[in-house]
Structure 1
């Protein structure tokens, strides 16, 4: 099967938005990007991010923050956007994603504020102490069609896994056989299953695509995102990404996840922090 390209892949079709009237976009959320019957938060961010990229004069999100108000479900949705400020190098917008409930009432699922620019026009000066995560070679990591001995394949846990080429570092996969490390870490190679290279919308998906770090803390079950902020640094080079996610604190029933995304040129292309509700399983 030919490798999909940016603009011509399942991800592009499924995150597509259609302009209904100025500032208002229609989209359809597919069941194939769900976890526990709820549409994945990173996928939602990519879809709403496309609407904002169309509504604003600049193409790429530099910082984007989403508050997830209620779980989004597969089916039709409306995205309402507003241009808050338009400057020479950056613009700011906000958006809401809405669906109808079983009684026909319009329900706001998520609300977003974002700053957009042209990532290709940013200065190339880099000063950082950050280092790419230490992950075994791609072929030595665990794919969604495989798992540690005695564990079910990761693809059995959520339909979204069938659309990702996710290769989990075995050192962070002990939870799958009842032996979590307790460190709250997840590391993986990330790509899309059809071979499409990553771009800014795909980075918004990547930061929320790994299994939750709560699993490595010995908890199981749905870990719904309450708030997610992503900073995009530059457009990624072709090839698989490396994603590292850590949690340092779980308290009051909430945990944070800090993610870093690195491209094939060893550049830090995206960072995120999210607040999630801890699962109740053990």
Structure 2
């Protein structure tokens, strides 16, 4: 792993989660969905009141990239200063990065995954909805609910029972012939792959309860690094199966569209 110097102890990102991050897939040094990542970072900077770094500075780590697949993590904090929770009047943001080689979980592309509902409920905070801020304790606690490697991900709902996302991926399903994904107006992270797919006009953002997954003809999880995993089994919080799916053409069609944006192999080759 290649990275910049560590954080000082008084950095507000380390102390309060006062900052943002982006995790970007690189293919032979070329960032995938770069415009979407920059757009989300800019939205987060606007919400938090942190100056947006120059695109030149954000792109500097690309000069360190090698061949093949790598993941670039960009972390931007408000920097140091201020008194307690009160931020400094004139922030001096601090930008750090890490580069690491990456291998996707291709078996999950081919065979599909088993997922479960989480007990934890996401708190609604519309001001922070959609952005990728550094305070991810809800996701950490949700992911700690299971240690069975057979379960790939956990599904998160908000405190009113509305479906939102998985712990580290966005959620999609096909129901009554329509591709749907949860609305993230109140909480959740608007993934860059999700944004790119929605921009094509084929996915509807909806408010739906957990019953939508049981009713669905197909379910997927996806993000801009791992690609798309089709779901073959959904469990409740006790590990009891709620629904099973057999992978078919409809699963592969959506997967192929998403993987085309990331340069991954099309599932038709499976």
TM-score (norm. length: structure 1): 0.28
- Structure (1/2) with the larger strand percentage: 1
Structure-2-length-normalised TM-score: 0.29
> Higher helix proportion, which one?
2
